[in-house]
Amino acid sequence: MPPWPYIAHLHLTEHTEGRRRRDRHPKASRAPKRNHKMGNEESTMADESLTPETLSGRNLKAVADYIKAGKAERIVVMTDRDQPPMAKFLQRENTSASPSRPPADPSAVPDFRSPGTGLYANLARLKLPYAEAVFDIDYFRKHPEPFYCLAKELYPGHFHPTVSHAFIALLAHKGLLLMNFTQNIDCLERRAGVPSDLIIEAHGSFATQRCIACQAPFPDDAMRRHVLDEVVPRCADAACSGSGGGDGGGGGGLVKPDIVFFGEALPARFRDNTHLAARADLVLVLGTSLSVYPFAGLPEHARPGVPRLLLNRERVGRVGQRADDVV
Residue 282 is assigned to a structural domain of this protein? yes
pLDDT band at 114 (very low <50, low <70, confident <90, very high): low
pLDDT above 50 for 21: no
Report the chain's mean pLDDT, rounded to a whole number: 76
* CB-based contact 107:160 (threshold 8 Å): yes
Do 211 and 310 fall within a single domain? Answer: no
* CB-based contact 172:181 (threshold 8 Å): no
Out of 216, 232, 259, pick the residue that ends a domain.
259
The mean pLDDT value for 83-100 works out to 32
Cα 183 from Cα 295, distance rounded (Å): 8
CATH number at residue 303: 3.40.50.1220
Predicted local confidence at residue 97, as pLDDT: 28
Of 119-123, 185-189, 267-271, 311-315, give the lowest mean pLDDT range. Answer: 119-123
The mean pLDDT value for 169-176 works out to 96
Do 41 and 148 fall within a single domain? Answer: no
Do 136 and 65 fall within a single domain? Answer: no
The mean pLDDT value for 217-235 works out to 94
Strand partners, 180: 77, 199
149 belongs to an annotated ligand binding site? no
Residue 9 is assigned to a structural domain of this protein? no
pLDDT above 80 for 55: yes
* Residue of 143, 160, 165, 203 marked catalytic: 203
58-82 residue pLDDT tens: 999 999 999 999 999 999 999 986 4
Do 194 and 273 fall within a single domain? Answer: yes
Do 211 and 317 fall within a single domain? Answer: no
CATH number at residue 218: 3.30.1600.10
Do 148 and 178 fall within a single domain? Answer: no
Q: What angle do CA 95, 191, 299 make, to 5 degrees?
A: 100
Out of 259, 285, 300, pick the residue that ends a domain.
259
Residue 322 is assigned to a structural domain of this protein? yes
Do 197 and 287 fall within a single domain? Answer: yes
Total of domains in the chain: 2
Do 132 and 234 fall within a single domain? Answer: yes
pLDDT band at 128 (very low <50, low <70, confident <90, very high): confident
Out of 239, 259, 279, pick the residue that ends a domain.
259
Predicted local confidence at residue 39, as pLDDT: 39
The mean pLDDT value for 103-129 works out to 56
For the question of whether the overall pTM of this predicted structure is more than 0.85, the answer is no
Residue 3 is assigned to a structural domain of this protein? no
Residue 16 is assigned to a structural domain of this protein? no
Do 209 and 180 fall within a single domain? Answer: no
- Please choose, from the candidates 221, 254, 249, 260, the residue with its C-alpha nearest in 3D space to the C-alpha of residue 237: 254
Which residues form the domain of 181? 37-84+162-203+269-326
Cα 164 from Cα 87, distance rounded (Å): 14
Angle between helices 145-154 and 220-228 (to 10 degrees): 100
The mean pLDDT value for 253-282 works out to 95
Going from the C-alpha of 259 to that of each of 145, 204, 256, 263, the distances in angstroms are 16, 4, 8, 12
* CB-based contact 135:261 (threshold 8 Å): yes
pLDDT above 60 for 206: yes
The mean pLDDT value for 113-118 works out to 49
Predicted local confidence at residue 157, as pLDDT: 74
| Strand (E) or helix (H) holding 179 | strand 177-182
Cα 176 from Cα 323, distance rounded (Å): 23
Predicted local confidence at residue 272, as pLDDT: 95
Predicted local confidence at residue 31, as pLDDT: 41
Of 210-214, 285-289, 323-327, give the lowest mean pLDDT range. Answer: 285-289
The mean pLDDT value for 149-154 works out to 84
The pLDDT > 70 percentage for the chain reads 70
Do 135 and 210 fall within a single domain? Answer: yes
Residue 298 is assigned to a structural domain of this protein? yes
Residue 92 is assigned to a structural domain of this protein? no
Residue 25 is assigned to a structural domain of this protein? no
187 belongs to an annotated ligand binding site? no
- Mean pLDDT is highest, among 89-93, 105-109, 190-194, for 190-194
pLDDT above 80 for 6: no
Do 169 and 230 fall within a single domain? Answer: no
Cα 89 from Cα 118, distance rounded (Å): 6
Do 43 and 119 fall within a single domain? Answer: no
Is residue 203 part of the annotated active site? The answer reads yes
